[in-house]
Amino acid sequence: METYHVLEMIGEGSFGRVYKGRRKFSGQVVALKFIPKVGRSEKELRSLKREIDIMRGLNHPNIVLLLDSFETEREVVVVTEYAEGELFQILEDDGNLPETQVREIACQLVSALYYLHSHRILHRDMKPQNILLGKGGVVKLCDFGFARAMSVSTLVLTSIKGTPLYMSPELVEEKPYDHTADLWSLGCILYELHTGAPPFYTNSIFQLVQLIVKDPVKWPESMSQDCTSFLKGLLTKDPQKRLSWPDLFEHPFVADGVLVLSDNSADSPLTVTPSLDQQALKLMQAKEKAAPRCGEGKLLRKARELRGKDKANKPDFATSTRAGSGKGDRSDNALLRTAADGRIPSEDWSASSPDIIDKDAVKPSAILSLEDRMGPISRDYAQEFPSVEIGPRQVLKNQSRVHCSLGSVRLENEDIDSDEEWRHLVQTTDPENQTSVGLDQAVLDRLKDRLLSYKAQLLDGVLEGVCQIHQPLKVLSNLLARKVDAEDSISVALKMDLPHFLFDMIEEIMGNSVVKQQPWCVAVLGDLMSALLLYWERHYQWEAAGKSLEECTKPFLSILFHPDMASIVPLAASVLALFIYRGVSVDLHADKFIAAMEAALHSPVENCVCLPQGWGLWDGLLALLLQALSEPENCLVSEFIDSSLWQLLWFRVGVTLEQMPPNREFLSLSGLQIFLSLALFVFIREPYSCVPLFSNSNTKSLPTLRRLLTADCTSEKEILSEQKLSHPWSDPSPNSLSVMSCHLLCFPFALEVPDETMAKILLSYHSCDIVSRLLQLALGLPLCLLELPLSLLCHLLLCDPGRSVPCFTSAAEACGFFLPPGGQDDDGDKPQSASERGCGETGRPSERTASSLLAGFLQSEALSGSAVELISLVSQAARFSLLPPFSVLYVDPSLLRSTLAHPDDRVRAATCSLLGNLNPLVPHCDPLLLPLFQDMTGQLHDPSLAVRRAACRAVGNWLGLVGQAYSHDGSELTKEDGGSVTVEGKTKVGKKRPSVLPGREDPASGSKACVEQEVGRWAESAQGATPVLLPLLRDPDPLIRRHCCAALGNMAAISGGGASLLQCDAPSLLLQLTCADSQNAVRQAALTSLCLFSQQDVLRQALVSLDIEEKLQRISQYTSSACQYNRLMNKLQPQ
């Protein structure tokens, strides 16, 4: 538990209690489920362990993620990701959904089920109550209490699990079933989302079974043909004919939206069509496991037993389920939402659970009254562990803590109101004081009396009350800011009548025209609002007494717009931001607020200001500004961009970041996140108006974003050193600043801007050293967040290679980015401190390398996009470095062999492009490069056009390098018409390629025999590419045909290449292409390769035997390349 902060209880059920929590030293919000072990049977604990084991192996965006689990002496604690909403809430509120939304949900649920079934896991309790809604509307499947991981030998199951409303016909008939039972439940859910009610429902469980088994589904006319077809397939009563894998995700209703994440290593996934032998074995198992039916089954028998009980003695159904919500009795005639309490009747439904059938359990799920529903979180987590009963949570307190008593602070003498005594009390209650005293009720009584007394004097204008109220308010703030037990905090709040005492006093001051004109008024209001913020941080869910929350905002709005209170406007803004976060409507006039905020930023800050730890003075102002500009009725974004406040904000943020360490007094980490959210909002609304921020060197925006790119690295130490760092309205992740800054830096490249403007933008990026900062970011961010910065880095190298490539290669060399791997974790995601990342202005190089990053990306198909960006980045650097040696931009060849076999064609294409830009033939080259060349040759017939193009280009380049290495000094390859052909089909004339294998007479390079042996191996391997290349001469893509011609031309210079070309009839095929191809560029490439053929005696004789002169003469008169034709014919003349 030392890893988590427990914030508040959000749910309670028969399994235990659920608390909202936060992982220490980060902003990650989690759900902590405390399940008591006391009194649990071994069977229940085994069931719980099985559920945890199943969830631990699941990692899918549409499945609730298990983050952690551990045991204390008395409890099992399960930590999952935190989700706010539930799908069935939408049904309660809206009745049904439009089909477009149903389709989006369907695609996500299909993706989740495909993932489960590919791992041979059956959920067995699919229903709306077990589907959560995360951020951005992402659907998340939860509750794996009834889930079952099937062994390879198990083909059917027989135990009855689930909710009757969503049970398949084979389940309610208690027949053996397989994964298609989940698909039936999916159909029921989608039908209910579309129509507002399940396909079958009635007040009687007996009738429900008959309806599911026999009645047809009623299809509404409003349902589209694709949707109807899809649901009919899922709701087919015969499981053998039910729509299943792999046909399911190819159905038109979901085909374009399903994300398929499956593990290719899974044995016998349920998502592939079983073989005939497997089908026969399944039928045999089903026959063996089918129990003989004597009368009605267990399901109906248990229901009949329940119905026969005395209804007067029957407990309310809501209390009989394990997710009971404490509701009162319900009328038998009331229409209730199916499973509204969390599990009706499936929470403990099995053949051995006699107390879970109720007639209310089978009513439609879209008609529960709003007042009957539980909180959205408690109902979800009440579903997670079906076999564990509720028990009191044992809170273990640290007995080693010793508090001294406030009685030692002498407030019982005759001079208790002296300044000295109050100053002493302020010191002893200071949260930073290591010997801070404990609570004493007598002190609280005395404090309350003095505050009430001084309040009355202050409102009457008595100067004595004004002078003396400051110290008691400071004591109150100290007591509120202390890290004490919840009971102590509540005791202080109750005794002091908080927050109403503070609200009332602020309101009375602002309502007294005489008092608020006094010079001391601002300082007193500052003290009051500081105390209010400290209280609100601890007691977020306080209840208003006697007035609405909207009325409570009025005094703070008055402060916000008061011309003489600019110094405390940030405090009022923080309070108003908290109101907005609670859903209170605050009447902000955007134009007036912008003026007030600008005045506040220029005003000095009152010394009385005391904010909760982790808050910045301007955080609330930025939150209000974002709210004001976001209101639909406000169209002031363009005016805001033109205002001086926009530039002032960039300047002030930049100034706070310039200090080392950064100054958090004005802007906390959460404040910086709000600022970036504001910038993103403005950029999205007025993108072209924001372009000058990037192109004008006088603005502070780019230097500020440069610092924010790696601000999280500096902040990491800060988070580790603070006990608590949070915002009620903003909970930044440890890397949010870097990611949001990347988004902002990407904006100019998504717009169509003039070339002149783009040139200024690129110059500004270079001046701010954005390239090296992005590389620093790649060394520190988690793998899942790297796609965006790598993509931006790649784009900069592409758009501005002259400046960006040298900058990148220099930064990469400095941090060892291209060193051979060694010392890092296999997944490339080794935890690193800020100093290890190389973040900030200084720091030792990171241990991450290009190879380690690529290894990490290859471990998950979800990171394929990041792998593409990384490979493309290295490829761009190599492309503009003119075929650098492989060792200069080193990436582990074994990883590149893996990427050539990757299921994502983008990864394969990017790998081929990278290889085409590198020179493998260097001294002491890696022995894996030769097999890598063979693998690359195998991609010449890849089904993907992009892969074939890149592979053909790369193979051609490497063949040219092999031919160059085979010559003694390369002179033969630089003569006119004798150079190797590039992938564009042009000849490199008079320009030598970068150095390849050392000359044969180079004494420093090793023996002549070793060099010749190495070149020989490459030449022998290269000859095998000829029969693979030749079919590409007939490829429908003209660019591939051009690349193929160039590759064959390079083959001619390799030892033994001429023989392999003749054996495959390459001269004849190239001649046909020269004469007959429909594309002029292809004909020119073929002619260039024939010129290279003519340099080899064997090939020249073959060309002469083909009557090439006569054929070329016929076509030369129709082409603009007559000179090149004539040159070739001259070479064919006898020497």
Got the DSSP string for 203-241? S-HHHHHHHHHHPPPP--TTS-HHHHHHHHHHT-SSTTT
Instruction: Look up residue 9 and give its DSSP letter.
Output: E
Residue 42 scores a pLDDT above 50: yes
3-state secondary structure of 854: helix
pLDDT of residue 412: 36
Task: Please indicate, yes or no, if residue 654 is contained in any of the structural domains.
Answer: no
Token pair in block for residue 946:
């992009």
Burial code (b: 16+ CB inside 10 Å, e: under 16) for 583-616 equals ebebebbbeebbebbbbbbeeeebebbbbbbbbb
Let me know whether 293 and 175 are in one domain.
yes
The pLDDT confidence band at residue 241, using thresholds 50, 70 and 90, is very high
Supply the residues annotated as catalytic: 125
Distances (CA, A) of 760 to 533, 693, 749, 800, 1035: 45, 11, 13, 11, 43
Assigned token pair, 520 = 């001391």
**Whole-number pLDDT of residue 40:** 80
Tokens standing for 1115?
């076509």
Identify the residue whose tokens are 């003209």: 1038
- What does the alpha-carbon distance between residue 542 and residue 1074 come to, in Å, rounded to a whole number? 84
Global confidence as pTM = 0.59
508 in any annotated domain:
no
Would you tell me how many other CB atoms lie within 10 Å of the CB of residue 900? 20
665 lies in a domain? no
Whether 880 and 964 map to the same domain: the answer is no
- For 244-393, strand residue ranges (E) read none
Give 1102 or 285, the one with higher predicted confidence.
1102
**Torsion angle, alpha carbons of 371, 376, 379, 385, to 10:** 180
Domain CATH code at residue 989: 1.25.10
Evaluate whether residue 326 is within a structural domain.
Answer: no
Compute the radius of gyration of the chain from its Cα atoms. Answer: 37
Residue 144 within a domain? yes
Q: Answer yes or no: is 33 a known binding residue.
A: yes
**Cα separation of 460 and 466, whole Å?**
10
Which residues fall within 8 angstroms of residue 1046, CB to CB, at 6 or more apart? Answer: 956, 981, 982, 983, 984, 985, 1085, 1088, 1089
User: What does each C-alpha distance from 879 to 874, 884, 912, 913, 984 come to in angstroms?
Assistant: 9, 8, 12, 9, 14
Determine, yes or no, domain membership for 868: yes
Residue 234, pLDDT score: 95
Write down the pLDDT at residue 973.
32
Q: Per mean pLDDT, which range of 219-228, 985-994, 1009-1018 is the poorest?
A: 985-994
**Short-list 1065, 1046, 1071, 1061, CA closest to 1129:** 1071
Structural domain boundaries enclosing 299: 85-310+331-381
Given a cut of 50, whether residue 740 has pLDDT beyond it is yes
Residues 885 and 961 in one domain: no
Say yes or no: 223 and 361 in one domain: yes
CATH code, 275: 1.10.510.10
User: Using 50, 70 and 90 to split pLDDT, how confident is the model at 699?
Assistant: confident
Which of these ranges, 148-152, 178-182, 636-640, 993-997, has the smallest mean pLDDT? 993-997
Lowest mean pLDDT segment, chosen from 737-746, 773-782, 931-940, 978-987: 978-987
pLDDT over 70 at 1001, yes or no = no
Q: How do residues 326-360 score in pLDDT, each as one tens digit?
A: 333 332 322 223 333 333 333 333 333 333 333 33
b/e burial code for range 339-354 (CB count within 10 A of at least 16 → b): bbbbbbbbbbbbeeee
Which pLDDT band holds residue 287 (cuts at 50, 70, 90)? Answer: confident
Contact 668, 615 (CB under 8 A): yes
Whether 438 is in a domain gets the answer no
Residue 9 has pLDDT above 90, yes or no: no
In 10 A of CB 734, how many CB atoms?
19
Same domain, 960 and 886: no
Query: pLDDT tier at 264 (50, 70, 90 boundaries)?
Result: low
Domain final residue pick, 891, 917, 936: 891
* C-alpha–C-alpha distance, residues 441 and 447, integer Å: 10
Give a yes or no: residue 739 inside a domain.
no
- Whether 961 and 1109 share a structural domain: yes
Quick one: which of 644, 767, 773, 622 has its CA closest to 712? Answer: 773
> Which among 163, 233, 162 has a CA at the least distance from the CA of 191?
233
SS (H, E, C) 581-613: HCCCCCCCCHHHHHHHHHHHHHCCCCCCCCCCC
Q: What angle do CA 1093, 1094, 1099 make, to 5 degrees?
A: 60
Confidence of residue 902 (pLDDT cuts 50, 70, 90): very high
- 102-118 per-residue burial string, b: 16 or more CB within 10 A, e: under 16: bbbbbbbbbbbbbbbbb
Helices 787-799 and 770-778, interaxial angle, to 10°? 150
983 in Cβ contact with 956 (< 8 Å): yes
Beta bridge partner(s), residue 6: 21
The count of domains in the chain is 3
Contact 168, 181 (CB under 8 A): yes
Are residues 1034 and 1119 both part of a single domain? yes
Residue 19 has phi, psi (to 5 degrees) of -120, 145
pLDDT tens-digit readout, 56-99: 888 899 998 988 888 887 888 889 888 877 787 777 777 888 99
Cis status, amide bond into 345, omega within 30 of 0: yes
Which pLDDT does position 173 carry in this prediction? 85
Same-domain status, 158 and 266: yes
Read off the amino acid at residue 1127.
R
Which token pair is 764?
A: 């500004």
- The reply to whether 142 and 272 lie within a common domain is yes
Residues in contact with 85: Cβ distance below 8 Å, sequence separation at least 6, in sequence order? 132, 133, 134, 376
Mean pLDDT of all residues in 1061-1068: 91
960 burial via Cβ count (<10 Å: 0-12, 13-18, 19+): buried
- pLDDT band, very low/low/confident/very high, at 307 (cuts 50, 70, 90): low
How far, in Å, CA of 174 to CA of 294, rounded?
12
The per-residue b/e assignment along 1007-1043, b for 16 or more CB within 10 angstroms, e otherwise, is: eeeebeebbeebbebbbebbebbbebbebeeebbbbb
User: Are 973 and 963 a contacting pair, CB within 8 Å?
Assistant: yes
Helices within 747-882 (DSSP H only)? 755-767, 770-778, 787-799, 801-814, 834-837, 850-857, 864-879
Domain edge (last residue) among 365, 381, 397: 381
Q: Which of 891, 919, 935 is the last residue of a domain?
A: 891
